[in-house]
Amino acid sequence: MNWTSFLEFTRGPLFYAALLIFIAGMVYRLVRVIALGWARDRVKSRGSKLGGAVRSLLKGFLIWPFIPWVKNTFSRSPLIYVAGGLFHLGLFVVIFLGAAHMLVWKSLLGFGWPTLPLPIVDWLAVVAIAAMIVLFINRLVHPVLKLISGPAEWLNLVFVFLPMISGYILTHHLFFRYETAYSLHMLAVDWLLIWIPLSRISHFMFYFFAKAIHGAQFGKRAVAP
Amino acid sequence: MAEETIYQRLQAAGISRRDFLKGCGGLAALMGLQQAPPVAASGLPAHLARGGDPAPLIARALATKARVPVIWLELQDCAGCSEALTRSHSPTLVDLVLREITVEYHETLSAAAGFQVEAAKQAAMKQYAGKYLLVVEGSIPTDGIYCTIGGHSALEILQEAAAGAAAIVATGNCSAFGGLPKARPNPTGAKGVLDFIEDKPVINIPGCPAIPEAFTGTLAHFLIFGGLPELDELHRPKTFYGHTVHDRCLRRPFYEAGKFANTFDDEGARQGWCLYKLGCKGPTTYNACAGIKWDAGLSFPIQSGHPCLGCSQPNFWDGGGFYQGQSAPLDRPGIGVAAAAAGIGLVAGAGIAMANRAQKRASDDGK
Ligand code: HEM
Ligand code: SF4
Ligand code: SF4
């Protein structure tokens, strides 16, 4: 087995299998959560549930990230808030607005979109990598966090870190031949796809539901979330 | 009868010593002999081999060595590699080398035909046993019914000719890695030479077609040093396949700056920006295109505005589409398969949820 054929494997059958496991796993997780059931709603609404849900989601994306100091999650641990925020920003830009990744989406969905210049994506990749290191160290030194971090928490960080760092190495042609670095990147990505449904990283899907449900509850009582 | 040396033959053809040495210099440059190791590996006396100008070394070798007999098989091929070679007009190398190999048998170029040419091949294999260079163009089908010549299967022909060869040169992607015939669904079960030959040195010169200078440069190496050049893990000479097309690409600064052509006729394409988004496989393709180029250094595909197809890499026909980005996955589940996976998740989730609920109800009832 040489790196060229290993790359074919990680870009081909392994990716294929990982993606199917990802899809099946995420649907499974979602169904399990939905099947937990809702308490029957016997109280008359005073406001619009839908409006509340929409408002909650919009606020979560468009307002809070820009005025974080009014939230007490921020004032309680600004480091986690800022590092976490920057990590997610970097991740989003790299995965959706980098040229290489847009081409992945295009091949899967059948349509593409404009991308950001590589240097910008590149800096945000660095920011995300730095943020992950900060979060890792913070978890190591923070007494409470350390207590509540089981193996799964550490592994989550590592498994997201690996595609990031290997992607950066790949783009910059560092240390390895391109097909070697590419194989490692794909291996990390394929594993992440399998790992996500098994882990709490699947929060990215539940986040939107949680936000919507909270918003709906606030909306119903006609109070601002 | 002492065999005529290469230099003697060139003299007889009216080539002056000056032109001869110039040719040797060009050859050395092309073969990348400026570095010491291949020169040292030549087995020549130390004072000649130690660094310095390799041209005299080549001159000396050519002045003392006899011509190399070549048997050239064409199996499942398009003759494109032969075409590229015979039509290339790089003055020094191709001329020099082509004149210095005697092609004893070539399925397309031999003047004779039918039983005559087969007999000539047999005679050449006997006369030069253990000395000739076997060049293979085209892939080998493993289904016996495809590609038979003179009543023999391609595999028989290859094995027979390989038995007496000093070394085998697989030219083009087809004989190196299976090439076009091996593209999915590979109806003939096509494979490359290395899938069958284990007891002989095999050099791959992949490409579609192989760059003539890479082919002749490798032959020149064999001619001059009597041995194989240094090879990479895919048996390709490092001199010509040591760098990716991307490493030497003239559009590379645009890649670094993130400036891409999005279509073949947009502003980016006109400005000569990077072709990554149009499917360029340059980053994973090891070949000398960007350096040696084609048509005597005139241009090469990327310079002319077309993305690299990856023609010197194994399985490039199945590399996910020529115009699909290098990063796109090779295998993608279709809507049906993806829906099936989602369905499995759904059924499993609902099933377990129902089982849990039933269990809970049972235990509630029991209370
Ligand atoms: C199917 C999934 C993916 C494929 C096929 C893929 C492919 C690639 C390729 C080919 C590059 C290099 C582009 C170049 O050489 O210019 C790259 C870069 C990168 N990838 Fe991925 N990738 C995938 C998923 C991911 C994921 C999930 C992450 C993060 C968690 C990630 C993080 C990165 C990063 C950080 C870079 C470097 C970007 C830069 O520095 O500009 N990739 N990826
Ligand atoms: S055109 Fe191809 S080989 Fe050239 S820089 Fe762009 S990706 Fe690399
Ligand atoms: S640019 Fe790429 S596909 Fe084209 S001839 Fe060169 S290596 Fe082959």
The band of A67, judged by pLDDT with boundaries at 50, 70 and 90, is low
Least distant ligand from the CA of A87 = 1
> Rounded to the nearest 5 degrees, what angle is found at the Cα of A43, between the Cα atoms of B354 and A55?
85
The band of A52, judged by pLDDT with boundaries at 50, 70 and 90, is low
Domain limits, chain B: 1-66, 67-241, 243-330, 336-361
Ligand 1 center to A95 CA (angstroms): 7
How far is residue B171's CA from residue B177's CA, in Å, rounded to a whole number? 10
Ligand 2 center to B302 CA (angstroms): 7
The band of B46, judged by pLDDT with boundaries at 50, 70 and 90, is very low
Q: Looking at CA atoms only, how far is residue A126 from chain B in angstroms?
A: 16
How far is residue A113's CA from residue A101's CA, in Å, rounded to a whole number? 11
Instruction: Note the pLDDT of residue B1.
Output: 42
Residue B290: CB within 6 Å of ligand 2?
Answer: no
- Global pTM exceeds 0.90: no
CATH of domain B243-330: 4.10.480.10
Q: Does B340 score more than 90 pLDDT?
A: no
How far is residue A103's CA from residue B279's CA, in Å, rounded to a whole number? 9
The band of A154, judged by pLDDT with boundaries at 50, 70 and 90, is confident
Q: Residue B48: which residues within 8 A CB-CB, separation 6 or more? A: B56, B57, B60
Q: Give the SS3 label for residue B293.
A: coil
Q: Does A43 score more than 70 pLDDT?
A: no
Q: Does B285 score more than 60 pLDDT?
A: yes
Q: Does B45 score more than 60 pLDDT?
A: no
Tokens of A72: 């007490």
Residue B245: CB within 6 Å of ligand 2?
Answer: yes
Whole-Å CA distances, A137 to A81, A87, A157, A168: 14, 14, 11, 21
Ligand 3 center to B287 CA (angstroms): 7
Q: Does CATH number 3.40.720.10 belong to domain B67-241?
A: no
Question: Residue A20 and residue B348: Cβ atoms within 8 Å?
Answer: no
How far is residue A61's CA from residue B203's CA, in Å, rounded to a whole number? 58
Q: Which residues of B touch A36 (CB under 8 A)?
A: 353
How far is residue A89's CA from residue A125's CA, in Å, rounded to a whole number? 9
Question: Residue A15 and residue B331: Cβ atoms within 8 Å?
Answer: yes
Q: What percentage of chain B reaches a pLDDT higher than 70?
A: 80
Residue with the two structure tokens 């936000």: A211
Reference A193, options A31, A47, A53, A26; nearest CA is A26
**Residue B96 in contact with residue B220, Cβ under 8 Å?**
yes
Q: How many CB pairs under 8 A join A and B?
A: 126
Ligand 3 center to B339 CA (angstroms): 38
Question: Residue B325 and residue A106: Cβ atoms within 8 Å?
Answer: yes
**Residue B60 in contact with residue B44, Cβ under 8 Å?**
yes
Instruction: Note the pLDDT of residue B17.
Output: 74
Cis (ω within 30 of 0) for the bond into A78? no
Of the candidates B257, B320, B354, the beta carbon closest to that of A118 is on: B257
Q: Give the SS3 label for residue B72.
A: strand
Higher-confidence residue: A130 or A117?
A130
The band of B179, judged by pLDDT with boundaries at 50, 70 and 90, is very high
Pocket test for ligand 2, best of B243, B244, B247, B251 (most atoms within 8 A of CB): B251
Question: Residue B350 and residue A31: Cβ atoms within 8 Å?
Answer: yes
Q: Does A190 score more than 90 pLDDT?
A: yes
pLDDT tens readout for residues B204-225: 999 999 988 888 888 878 877 7
Which of A125-134, B100-109, B123-132, B327-336 is least confident? B100-109
- Nearest protein CA to atom 8 of ligand 2, as residue: B246
From chain A residues 136-175, the ones with a CB under 8 A of any chain B CB are none
| Amino acid at residue number B247 | D
How far is residue A192's CA from residue A19's CA, in Å, rounded to a whole number? 10
Instruction: Note the pLDDT of residue B333.
Output: 84
The band of A69, judged by pLDDT with boundaries at 50, 70 and 90, is low
Q: Looking at CA atoms only, how far is residue B322 from chain A in angstroms?
A: 13
Q: Residue B72: which residues within 8 A CB-CB, separation 6 or more? A: B82, B103, B105, B106, B107, B109, B134, B135, B136, B137
Q: Residue range B301-324: average pLDDT? A: 90
Instruction: Note the pLDDT of residue B106.
Output: 79
How far is residue B191's CA from residue B108's CA, in Å, rounded to a whole number? 21
Instruction: Note the pLDDT of residue B37.
Output: 38
Q: Looking at CA atoms only, how far is residue B349 from chain A in angstroms?
A: 5
Helix axes A3-11, A13-35, angle to 10 degrees: 30
Question: Residue B331 and residue A12: Cβ atoms within 8 Å?
Answer: yes
Instruction: Note the pLDDT of residue A138.
Output: 83
pLDDT tens readout for residues B234-257: 999 988 898 899 988 999 989 888
Least distant ligand from the CA of B179 = 3
Instruction: Note the pLDDT of residue B99.
Output: 65
Q: Looking at CA atoms only, how far is residue A72 from chain B in angstroms?
A: 36
Q: Does B38 score more than 50 pLDDT?
A: no
| Amino acid at residue number B39 | V
CA-based R_g, chain A, Å = 20
| Amino acid at residue number B53 | D
How far is residue B227's CA from residue B233's CA, in Å, rounded to a whole number? 18
